[in-house]
Structure 1
Amino acid sequence: MQRLNLQVVQLAVLSACQTGLGQIHDAGIIGLARAVQIAGVIRVLILKMVKKCHSERLRSISERDS
């Protein structure tokens, strides 16, 4: 993931159940969110929500940032 060129991406939304997890190292937490940032994404939003409202929240975030 971190080898991708994502410098044009301003916001990545990670919304699966365990996307915020990672391994703790001296440099901090190493996980998917950090890999996305290393690839160049400016902002990473990690969501953990109840499935019922999941799609509605993502839609409102998407519309707000458009």
Structure 2
Amino acid sequence: MTENESTQDPLQSDSVRGIARLKLIVVYLGLFMVSQLSHILASLYLIFCLIIGRNTPRLFRLL
């Protein structure tokens, strides 16, 4: 074991950084999927309200 390896912080190893990066990717993908789902639900709500003729201020804000 060299001196450089013995003084290196074990929490900054490549595998720990890789796991932390993977966790961030999973969180960001989860947030992305939630945002996409909310857009789909808002669009379905908008179409439903237009079909049944329910004209509300909220509907026009969505438009």
TM-score normalised by L of structure 1: 0.23
TM-score normalised by L of structure 2: 0.24
Which of the pair has more CA radius of gyration?
A: 2
Higher relative contact order (CA 8 A, sep 6+): 1
Larger proportion of strand: 1
